[in-house]
Chain A
Amino acid sequence: MLNTLEIAGQVAARPSARSPLLSVEDLRVEFDTSRGLVRAVDGVSWNVYPGETMAIVGESGCGKSVSALAVMGLLAKPAGRVAGGRIMFGDRDLTKLSTSQLRELRGRDIAMVFQEPMTSLNPVLSIGTQLAEPLRIHLGMNAQEARERSIELLGLVGIADAARRLDQYPHQFSGGMRQRVMIAIALTCNPKLIIADEPTTALDVTIQAQVLELMKELSQKLGIALVIITHNLGIVARYADRLTVMYAGRVVEEGTAEQLFARPRHPYTLGLLRSVPRLDRPRAGLLETIDGLPPNLLAPPTGCRFAERCFLRAAVCEDDPPLFDLAEGQRSACHRHAKLEQALAARPAAPPLPEAAPSDGEAPLLSVRALRKDFHVPVGQGRQGLVRAVDDVSFDVPRGTTLGVVGESGCGKTTVGRMILRLTPQTSGEVLFEGTDIASASAEAMRKLRLRMQVVFQDPFSSLNPRMSIGDTLNEPQLVYRKVRNRREADENSAELLRRVGLVPEMASRYPHQLSGGQRQRVGIARALAMQPSFIVCDEPVSALDVSVQAQIMNLLTDLQNSLGMTFLFIAHDLAVVRHISQRIVVMYLGRVVETADCDDLYREPLHPYTQALLDAAPVPDPTIERRRAARVLKGEPPSPLNPPSGCTYHTRCPRATAECAGIVPPLREVRPGHFAACIKL
C-alpha cells in the first residue's frame, strides 16, 4: 500500500522535477476578421516536458491548433498575431525571435505533422525532394547524403521499397502512407519536439491505429516529446501522458490522462467524456449532451465561458475562474470543481432506450438483393479500369429499425446508400422498397417513392444551397411535391419542422452560413422530414460534427425513430456511433458484406477477422483499458479496388489467412442464428 502511494507520488512529481522543454505562458493570439477582432487564444498556458506525450483536447474553434501554430510562428499573416504572453523553448522566447531565427528552428528543433495528409504534401514535387529539403537546409547535407538518409527515414516509418518510392509523387501514396511520409519529414533532423495537429482525423480507423502506434514508438525510441492536438478522447487515452483541455480560447482543465479520465474536475471535460458513445460500456439510453453551442469569440461572455452550457452553473460563475490547483498536479478552471462529483451523483440516470424491435412476420420495409455496382474509371492514357464498388450485397431493413452499415473509406457503403435511393443506378441486383423494385419503377412511380425515402448527407456545409434561406430550403420540396397548397402552409409546416429538430422557427429567415455545423445538420434532417418519409438514409450524418454536437444529433435521430416510427439506414465509419444507434449491423470490406448480425451479438462476439480488427483498432476513452491491451494493429492497407485480391479480398491482411483463402470467395453463411459471416475459417 505504501509502495503504491510512493510510486503515485513520484509519477505526479515527475513533471515539476524537470524543467519543461516548451512552455507556453499566458499566450494571447488575435485575428483581425471582417467582423472584428477575435481573440482565438486568450491567456493559455501549457508545458511539455522532454520525452513526454502531451495532448491538447477540445472542439473546433477552441484555439488548440492556433496555439500550436503560434509556437511554430506559422499564424496566418497578416490577420493573426501573438498579442501577449511568452513561448519559452529552453531559454529562448519564440515570440521574440526574428523570422530567420524562427525558420532555423522550425523543422530542426520543432517539427509539425498536420491533419490533412492528402493536401499537406506538395503535389508537383517528388517525395524524395520534399524529404531532403530539411536535411539539406538544416544539416547541410549534399544530395547523395540526403538521399541515403531519406531512404533510412522512409524505412523507419515503415514504407517498404524506400529507394524506389523516393522518386514517386504524393498522389501515388495512400492517405496513411502520406501521413507516414509527413512523420518521416518531421523526424529528418531529430527534433526535440513534434507537434501533431489532428494527425489521424482524416484516416480510417485501422490506419489511424498504425500511424499512432508508429508515432508513439518512434517518439519513445528517439526521445522526442510529442504534442498531439485532437478532439478524439479515445486516442488520447492510449497515447497521452498528460492532457490539456481547452474551451473557447482558454484552458479549462489539465492533468494526467489517468486523472482526467477517471475523475474529471471540470464539467466540460466531463461532458466531452460522456457525450461519446463507448464501445467498452453497455449501450445506454440517450447520450448525455452538452447543451447549446460554444460562445462566439467575437464577443466572449464575461466570467466562466462554459457557464452558459453548464449544469453546475451558479452565481460565482460570473467571475473569471482561475486554474485551481487540485491534488497531484491536476488543475481545473471551475469554481465549483469540488461540487462536481456530488452534483453528478444527484443527476438522474438517462432513461434506457426503448428498443425498436421488428415485429415478426411483417415484411421488411427495404430489401436489398445481390446488389452490385461497377464503375469504369480512367486509369490514365485514355484507358479504363473496372472497379466493382459493391458486390453481391444483400440485407433487409425491418420497419421502424435502424440498420448500421459500417466500413472504412472505399468499402462501398455510400454507394449502397445511393443505389437504394436510385441516385446511382445499380449494375445488377434488386432494391425492394415495400415490395416495389426501385430499378424498374417508372419516373412517375419513382416520384411517389421519393416522398417515402429521404437522405441526410455527411457534410452539412456543402449539402445546403448557400443562396437559399433555411425556410426556402424546407419549403421547396413541399411545394414541388404538392404536399401543401400554398406558400403560407409551407411556411407553417417548415416552422413546425424546425421545432421538431430542436431549432427555433425564426431560423427560417437565415442562410446556411449563419448557422453552426450542428444547426445545419438539424436543417438537413428537417429537410428530409419535410416529405414525411418512412425511411431515411443517413450517410455519415455526424462525422463532420464535434463530439458534443454529435451526441445532440444522435439523440435527435433516436427520438425521431421512437416518436415517428422512422426506419433508418445509418452509414458510418465510427463503430461506437453505429453501435449506439443500430439494431442490426452490416460490416463491409472492399464492396462485400463480411459480417452481419444483431448489434449486441456483433460487438459481443465479432466473428469475422476484419470486424475483430476494426474493433481492436477503435480506441476507447479509458486509459486503463487502453494501456493494458497490446497493440494489435492490423497490418497493411486496403488493396486497390482496381486490382482486388483473388478469393477472399481480405486475405492479404488477415492474420488467419491460408493459401486456401486466395482461392475461394467465401459466401456469407449463418454461423450462429441470425449471425452471418463470410469467412471459410469459421
Chain B
Amino acid sequence: MLRYIVKRVALMIPMLFTVALLTFFLLRVIPGDIVEVKLRADGGNVSQEVIERERVRLGLDKPLVVQFGDWMKGIVTFDYGTSMWTGQPISREIGIRLGLSMQVAVMAAIVAVLIAVPLGTVSALFRDSWIDYLVRIVTIAGLAVPSFWLGMLIILGLLSLFNWSPPVTYTPFFTDPVANLSQLIWPALAVGYRYAAVVARMLRSSVLEALQEDYIRTARAKGVFERLVIVRHTLPNALLPAITVIGLEFAFLMGGLVVTEQVFNLNGIGRLFVEAVTRNDFTLIQTLVMMIAVMFAVVNLIVDLLYGVLDPRVTNQ
C-alpha cells in the first residue's frame, strides 16, 4: 500500500513540472506585465526609467530561464516568494484564504453527498415514476442554475425573511463555530446544489446499471430482503463511479468559486485568483495554479485509494 502511494506521488512530479512549465511560459507570452498595470494602468505618465527600475526590483529583467529556475528552487524549498503586487509573502496571501475555501468545499461536498445519494438512489429505484421525474427535474435545474444566482436568491431570501445579511468579516471555525457555520452554510448550499445534481445524476445511472447485474439477481434468488439488496449489494457497486465525480468536483471547488465568493462577500482563493490575474501578478498566479494542480492530483490519489477500500478487485489483483 505504502509502496503504491509512494509510486503515485513520484508520478505526480513530472506532471506538476509540466504544469509549472506551461503556466510559467504561457503567462510570459501574454503581452504586458505587472509593472505596467501598476504604474501605467490609470494612464499616468511614468518615465521608462522608473518602470525599468521596478522591473529590476521584481526580477523581471532576468532571462526567463533564470526566473523559472529561481521559482523552481523556491517551490522545492517551500519558499514561494512574495506577491508582486502586495509584496506580502505568497504563503501568507494564500494561507489566510485557504482555510475558508477548503471549508466551503468540504461543506459543499457533505451537502452534495447527503442530497445526492438518497436522491440518485430513489430516482433509480422508482425509475419512470413521478418521483424519478421530480428528481430529474430538480437535478437538471441544479445543472442549469448558476451557483452565484442561487446564492443571490439565498441572500435575498435571508434578508427578507430574517433580515440577515452576510457579515463583512470572516470568523474562523475555531474562534466561533456557530458564527462560522452560519456564515458559510449558505455558500456551501448554493454550490452544493449543483454539486449534488452532478453526483445524483451519475449515481442514478450507476444504480440502474448495478440493478441489471447478475449478482443482484443472485441476491434476490437467495431471498435477501429488498432493502438489503439495495444497501448491501447495489449501492457499494454503484458508488464507485460516483466517487470519481465527487473527487473531481471537489478539487474544482478549491479554486473555482470565483463569483460565489463575490456574492457572499468571502475572501477566498477564487477571489484571490481573479485579482492576481487582473494585476498580472505572475508569482501569485503561478503558485495558485500549482496549488490547484497539486490539489487535483492529491484528490485523484485519494479517490483511487478509496476505490481500493470499496472494491477489493483493485487492491489485491
**Residues on A facing B (Cβ under 8 Å):** 72, 74, 99, 103-108, 111-112, 114, 116, 119-126, 133-134, 137-138, 169, 171-172, 182, 185, 188, 378-382
Q: Which residue, of B221, B226, B228, has the highest number of chain A Cβ atoms within 10 A?
A: B221
Contact of B237 among A124, A134, A185, A380 (CB under 8 A): A124
Contact of B4 among A103, A125, A381 (CB under 8 A): A381
Q: Which residue, of B214, B217, B218, has the highest number of chain A Cβ atoms within 10 A?
A: B218
- A sample of 19 inter-chain contacts (CB < 8 A) reads A72-B220, A74-B220, A103-B225, A104-B223, A114-B217, A120-B218, A122-B233, A123-B237, A124-B237, A124-B310, A126-B312, A133-B219, A133-B224, A134-B223, A137-B225, A171-B317, A381-B3, A381-B4, A382-B7
Sorting the interface of chain B by its residue count into under 10, 10 to 19, 20 to 34 or 35 or more gives: 20 to 34
Let me know if B313 and A105 touch, CB within 8 A.
Answer: no
Instruction: With both chains docked as a complex, state the minimum distance between the C-beta of A645 and any C-beta of chain B, in angstroms.
Output: 22
Let me know if B224 and A124 touch, CB within 8 A.
Answer: no
Residues of B within 8 A of A381 (CB): 3-4
Known A381-B4, A382-B3; contact A120-B215, beta-carbon cutoff 8 A = yes
Q: Does B61 make an interface contact (CB < 8 A)? A: no
Closest chain B residue, CB of each to CB of A108: B223
Q: Does B62 make an interface contact (CB < 8 A)? A: no
Q: Given A125-B236, A134-B223, 11 other A-B contacts at CB below 8 A?
A: A74-B217, A104-B223, A114-B221, A124-B236, A137-B223, A169-B316, A182-B218, A185-B222, A378-B317, A379-B317, A380-B315
Q: Does B213 make an interface contact (CB < 8 A)? A: yes
Residues of A within 8 A of B7 (CB): 382
Query: What does the 1/0 interface line of B135-163 toward A look like (CB < 8 Å)?
Result: 00000000000000000000000000000
Let me know if A380 and B317 touch, CB within 8 A.
Answer: yes
Give the complex CA separation of A448 and B268 in angstroms.
65
Give the complex CA separation of A381 and B7 in angstroms.
9
Contact of A106 among B220, B316, B317 (CB under 8 A): B220
Give the complex CA separation of A169 and B309 in angstroms.
13
**Residues on B facing A (Cβ under 8 Å):** 3-4, 7, 213-215, 217-226, 228, 232-233, 236-237, 310-313, 315-317
Shortest Cβ-Cβ A-B pairs, 4 listed: A107-B223, A107-B222, A106-B223, A169-B312
Instruction: With both chains docked as a complex, state the minimum distance between the C-beta of B44 and any C-beta of chain A, in angstroms.
Output: 58
Known A171-B312, A382-B7; contact A123-B215, beta-carbon cutoff 8 A = yes
Let me know if B221 and A112 touch, CB within 8 A.
Answer: yes
A-B contact count (CB 8 A): 92
Q: Which residue, of B4, B214, B223, B228, has the highest number of chain A Cβ atoms within 10 A?
A: B223
Let me know if A119 and B215 touch, CB within 8 A.
Answer: yes
Let me know if B223 and A138 touch, CB within 8 A.
Answer: yes
Known A72-B221, A107-B222, A382-B7; contact A119-B316, beta-carbon cutoff 8 A = no
Closest chain A residue, CB of each to CB of B317: A380
Closest chain A residue, CB of each to CB of B315: A380
Closest chain A residue, CB of each to CB of B218: A120
Let me know if A137 and B224 touch, CB within 8 A.
Answer: yes
Instruction: With both chains docked as a complex, state the minimum distance between the C-beta of B11 and any C-beta of chain A, in angstroms.
Output: 10
Residues of A within 8 A of B213 (CB): 119
Let me know if B310 and A74 touch, CB within 8 A.
Answer: no
Contact of B221 among A74, A99, A169 (CB under 8 A): A74
Let me know if A103 and B313 touch, CB within 8 A.
Answer: no
Let me know if B233 and A172 touch, CB within 8 A.
Answer: no
Closest chain B residue, CB of each to CB of A378: B317
Residues of B within 8 A of A107 (CB): 221-224
Residues of A within 8 A of B219 (CB): 122, 133
Residues of A within 8 A of B214 (CB): 114, 116, 119-120
Let me know if B222 and A134 touch, CB within 8 A.
Answer: yes
Residues of A within 8 A of B233 (CB): 122, 125
